[in-house]
Structure 1
Amino acid sequence: MATDSEEPYPSRFEMVRRLPGPQLQGAVTDMCGYRETISGHFRSVEYASLTVPLVISFAEPFAIGLGKNPGGNDRFASFAAGLFAGPVMIESFGGACCVQINFTPLGARRFFGQPMSELTDRMVGLDDVLGLEGNTLRERLGDARDWSARFAIAESFVAARLASTDPMQAEIGWAYDSIIASGGRTRVATLAGRLGWSRKHLARKFSDAVGVGPKTLSRIVRFNRALGLSRQDNSDWADIAADCGYADQAHLVREFRDLAGETPTAIAAG
């Protein structure tokens, strides 16, 4: 059953999170309600991940830069964002309020009904991804009395769209799950061979279904596994590099710079 939980974040904002109900399992990882409660200029960095967010805003936009600090024209209110193999810099200014629905890549492909390559490395406005349905959803969410009501509206909307689409092609689902289960260590040539596809054909299928090729997906999976291991007690970077399939510790450092914008030790110190 889906549950709401309010987390102990600093008082400058409130965040309420809901886990997906059974109808959204495998397509949505969670939904969040976010509202800033004091004025200011706030900055955060999100590392490369497998989350495809749909942000529906009722107030001020965010400033967002892909792999860079956002500029004056990088303002986004309600939008969807595809996968990006790098850090995302986010700034807000004390007046943000939104619902964020976090999709898996394959869930996003079904929900949006368009190739995920059209969202890769981009923020795309709500009108362009959902049309009039998106505007109606935004109005309903904005008029709702509280976060619980907003989550119920959002979950019903997502479930209805998913029910009207076909399941993901079994071969792509298998290849995607294989990369996740291996921690990004499965060779692309091995996946293609088991499917009886060429590597080029597999890459095209992944571009449509996920937004990035299997090699890039594997990089993101390995990075996030290494990041998770680094947060355990007595973690050692050389051991983590070997465990996650990096050629050596220097390789791991380069990947962290590319996908997080920081070195492993800088992240650990933070």
Structure 2
Amino acid sequence: MSDETERHRQDNRSPALHFEMVRRKPAGTLAGIVTDICGYREIRPGHFRIVEYASLTVPLVISFAEAFAIGLGHTPSDNDRYASFAAGLYAGPVMIESFGAACCVQVNFTPLGARRFFGLPMSELRDRMVGLDDALGLDGMALRERLGEASDWDARFDIAECFIASRLAEANALSPEIAWAYRTVIASGGRTRIAALAGEIGWSRKHLAAKFTDAIGIGPKTLSRIVRFNCALSLSKQQDDDWAGIAADCGYADQAHLVREFRQLAGETPTGLAASM
């Protein structure tokens, strides 16, 4: 096991735990492109459900076993089964169900990194899951075969990192204006005014929104909402039930504004979400 690989192994003797997860931070050359690479394997049968809230992660999931059931903003049905796929940004809760036989590698990209890696407008992945063959073509299918044949998680992670690096070597550079605007929104905690961003670049707000959506998958206003939401979610773990204070600290107009955003981005009220975590 490499020093960069962190293992989170679940003990299958405990009835409460049902999976093995192995996580690696990417090589330095992939910094800003990939946040982490995970290996996931379920080790006992069952029907398991998790909810992921609006985030800035663009996942590439490569499965070697049973598909997941995934619903964007709703409980998944039998028609919502996905094995190997890429998913764009979604400004809402994602319900994920598995059935005790899942096994996959998941590469988590930043929005800017995903645009370079996939080499297509991220608006094409927004609010949807796209099959591996459509997202990466024959190269993606060959990658899945190589990963499936690898002997352990470390070998799989090495293969994935090399594949990503080779694609990036041929990728087009990002628009410097969009990269600057994205990082400015992140650094400001989602408080930067969109008109100010556009003015600094010398674009109209409409032009900025169109270019931003093409590159990131969402517009700068939606990006700001997700950044503020995740800031509030993080603060809630430190400031128990002080929702008025959290709203003020994260740039919401008032507590009612925060509650509305939590309902849309997490599918829960702040207190309901805190109780479930």
Amino acid corresponding to residue 38 of structure 1 in structure 2: R
Query: How far apart are residue 8 of structure 1 and its match?
Result: 5.3
Query: How far apart are residue 259 of structure 1 and its match?
Result: 0.2
Query: How far apart are residue 166 of structure 1 and its match?
Result: 2.5
Q: Which residue of structure 2 lines up, in the alignment, with residue 237 of structure 1?
A: 243
Contact kept in structure 2, 1:226 and 1:244, CA below 8 Å: yes
Q: TM-score, normalised by structure 2?
A: 0.95
Q: CA RMSD in A?
A: 1.2
SS in 1 for 2:151: coil
In the aligned structure 2, how far is the partner of 1:234 from the partner of 1:118?
A: 39
**2:167 aligned with 1:161:** yes
SS in 2 for 1:16: strand
In the aligned structure 2, how far is the partner of 1:234 from the partner of 1:119?
A: 36
In the aligned structure 2, how far is the partner of 1:63 from the partner of 1:26?
A: 29
Contact kept in structure 1, 2:132 and 2:141, CA below 8 Å: yes
Query: How far apart are residue 49 of structure 1 and its match?
Result: 0.2
Amino acid corresponding to residue 70 of structure 1 in structure 2: P
Count of aligned pairs between the two proteins: 270
Contact kept in structure 2, 1:2 and 1:21, CA below 8 Å: no
Query: How far apart are residue 22 of structure 1 and its match?
Result: 1.1
Aligned runs of 1:50-199 on 2, under 5 Å?
50-199=56-205
Gaps of 5+ in 2: 11-15
Contact kept in structure 2, 1:20 and 1:29, CA below 8 Å: yes
Amino acid corresponding to residue 24 of structure 1 in structure 2: L
% identical equivalent positions? 72
Amino acid corresponding to residue 158 of structure 1 in structure 2: I
Contact kept in structure 2, 1:229 and 1:235, CA below 8 Å: no
Match of 1:28 among 13, 23, 34: 34
Gaps of 5+ in 1: none
Q: Which residue of structure 2 lines up, in the alignment, with residue 5 of structure 1?
A: 6
Amino acid corresponding to residue 163 of structure 2 in structure 1: F
Deviations 1:225-258 (A, max 9, x none): 0000001155611011011111110110110010
Deviations 1:172-212 (A, max 9, x none): 11100000000001010010011110011001111111000
